[in-house]
Structure 1
């Protein structure tokens, strides 16, 4: 008769232990799945940021090359409103916008080289030459910017 009392208790203990083990297994599996999803999201976000960084750098390079072309085409004498100015003004505005994009979206190590290169381009476009060639004046700034951009993408 004593064995008959323990049979329902043992069954209930078995059900409780089985249910507890099932719960722990499901919880562990869900936590592992959540961690894997978080890692996937972090990797996707990092890739999106890298792509955004690349687009921002390329836009700055495109605008810098446009500004360099304007600097090469700079006439000895120009006036606000003439044909060269109507080309130069939007090119330099675009460069300023692209420089701000670098400031906002890229790594801090790229800010100073971008600003230095943009300032050198600004001087080449708007101010009289000091007698040195345009490439000589711009190349150090361009090289430093490109080296910093390369480091930032590594």
Structure 2
């Protein structure tokens, strides 16, 4: 009987070892599951954060592009308005003219200053492709206002430069 008690004790001790090993493996597997779940959660949060950052960057890029385009449209409108005022001054120039016929020179000086300021704004804020057409149109207007165009009619003198500017402005805005 003593043998039997020893065998039962050994078997019980063996069962306890198996039970402890199973408990240990259960704990290890559970801990590994928690670690894996935590890692996957961290990766998912990082991916979500990066996606949100990319969306915000795109939104800011679009907002900046829209803002710049609106600014370019504003300076182009200003230039066109100043060009029209200069054209009116060219058509309204007294002939022959002397000192300051009916205040024409007094009125025309600020008109031309505004034209050159608007021209500089276009050069500064708009596409590089507009630089030459704006300069050429501005010089053509200046020549028309001060009658450095000989016997050529004002509209005839301005037509080519005006058309080139308008085409370049349209192309610039279409690409912006």
- Within 1, Cα distance between the matches of 2:84 and 2:147? 18
- Within 2, Cα distance between the matches of 1:8 and 1:81? 103
Contact 1:78 1:85 in 2 (8 A): no
TM (norm. structure 2) is 0.83
State the number of aligned residues: 154
Name the counterpart of 1:31.
50
- Within 2, Cα distance between the matches of 1:124 and 1:2? 101
Name the counterpart of 2:63.
44
| Structure 1 vs Structure 2 CA RMSD | 1.4
Q: What CA deviation, in whole Å up to 9, does each residue of 1:33-59 have, x standing for no partner?
A: 111111111111111111111111111
1:20 equivalent among 39, 50, 59: 39
- Within 1, Cα distance between the matches of 2:169 and 2:148? 29
Contiguous gaps of at least 5 residues in structure 1: none
Name the counterpart of 1:152.
172
Greater Rg by CA: 2
1:56 equivalent among 53, 75, 97: 75
Name the counterpart of 1:133.
153
Alpha-carbon offset, residue 5 of structure 1? 1.5
- Within 2, Cα distance between the matches of 1:133 and 1:81? 21
Alpha-carbon offset, residue 80 of structure 1? 5.5
Contact 2:119 2:138 in 1 (8 A): yes
Matched, 1:103 2:123: yes
Shift >4 Å, 4+ stretches = none
TM (norm. structure 1) is 0.95
